[in-house]
Structure 1
């Protein structure tokens, strides 16, 4: 009887300790953007880990794939992964133009809407609502609609 209660107590303690770890993982993956002029990505979740990349591109979209305390394991548009402090990230959605050739930015969310301008792959902009394959896209105050398929950072993470 005592052994059975002890086993239940040990199991309860392990469940209680595991719950915060699961809670940390809730809500990932999600999209974020770099919210600093200079942001270091590290090989591990702490300041003592080596810096693997230095980002100098505010609003660059990233995918947060794991959380560990104040650290986030992120994936950048090139597929590189590393750890970044949560203070360097924003939940403001952004996107980067991907693919080959110029992407056409339209005045409305249709392929027949007036052409506003064209952007090269690698251009970063703030992302608005996406619907029916088109996303609101704001590049330095120039607003229009971009095809969702040309944007890394749109859609489900």
Structure 2
């Protein structure tokens, strides 16, 4: 007896159903086992965080972060381990207990190599014509409390203001949050 639908037809039917349901089934695929979206930005909680080559204490330490608040991107989840990527592209595994939901960002890390005289402007309001409140060197970590899709409200060394979202690593293009 021949099956009513081939395997390829079943796959197409599943995709069509997901599409017709508003993409809810497809959106679920972008969530990790924790139920949180993947990828997503978080920061390091501890002042000493081991980056391992695999998701367990049995794996070797590839790198050690020595500063809390560094922004990282969670790209994969396995049990209580998170595969992360930093602003330099380094990837590895850390225990979730060493991560915080506090949002931080790095000011234009891609501009670090350009040397002296290159800055990221922090403005009083979310507008390119707003008054300048600070000039931040590329690579400086800032605390971010909200983004509107174009600008992020940030704080660095006691000064707060707005930075163009395209000039930080720590918020996705167009991402808005409070």
Please state which band the TM-score falls in when normalised by the shorter chain: 0.7 to 0.9
1:122-142 alpha-carbon deviations (Å, 9 max, x no partner): 100111221251110111332
Q: Is 1:137 paired with 2:146?
A: no
SS in 2 for 1:87: helix
* Long gaps (5+) in structure 2: 1-30, 112-117
1:62 aligned partner: 72
Q: Which runs of 4+ in 1 moved over 2 A?
A: none
Query: How many equivalent pairs are there?
Result: 136
Inter-partner Cα distance in structure 2 for 1:23 and 1:44: 17
Q: Does the CA contact (< 8 Å) of 2:32 and 2:38 recur in 1?
A: no
Q: Does the CA contact (< 8 Å) of 1:25 and 1:66 recur in 2?
A: no
SS in 2 for 1:24: coil
Relative contact order (C-alpha < 8 Å, sep 6+): which is higher? 1
Residue number among 129, 132, 147 corresponding to 2:164 in the alignment: 147
1:51-92 alpha-carbon deviations (Å, 9 max, x no partner): 011001211111101111110000111111100010110111
Over the aligned positions, Cα root-mean-square deviation in angstroms equals 1.7
Q: Does the CA contact (< 8 Å) of 2:32 and 2:77 recur in 1?
A: no
2:94 aligned partner: 84
Q: How far is 1:23 from its partner? A: 5.9
Inter-partner Cα distance in structure 2 for 1:47 and 1:63: 21
1:42 aligned partner: 52
Q: TM-score, normalised by structure 1?
A: 0.81
* Long gaps (5+) in structure 1: 1-21
Q: TM-score, normalised by structure 2?
A: 0.72
Q: How far is 1:32 from its partner? A: 0.6
Q: Does the CA contact (< 8 Å) of 2:49 and 2:65 recur in 1?
A: yes
Change (3 A) 1:31 1:112: same
Inter-partner Cα distance in structure 2 for 1:96 and 1:69: 28
